[in-house]
Structure 1
Amino acid sequence: MAVLFDPFREFDRGATRQGPRRMPIDLYRDGDHYVLTADLPGIDPGSVDVDIDGQLLTVRAERTPRSQEGVKWLARERQGGTYLRQLTLGQGIDTAAISANYDNGVLSVVIPVSEQAKPRKVEVTANAAPAASVEVAAS
Structure 2
Amino acid sequence: MPIDRAELDRFDHAILRELSMDGRISATELGRRIGLSKSPTQARMKRLEDGGVITGYRANLDPIRMGQAHVAFVEVRLSDTREAALQAFNKAVLAVPEVEQAHMIASRFDYLLKVRTTDIQDYRRVLAERISALPHVASTSTYVAMEAVKELF
Say whether the fold is shared (TM-score over 0.5). no
Q: Identify, as 1 or 2, the structure richer in strand.
A: 1
Select the structure with the greater relative contact order (CA < 8 A; seq sep ≥ 6): 1
Structure showing greater radius of gyration is: 1
TM-score, length-scaled by structure 2? 0.29
TM-score, length-scaled by structure 1? 0.31
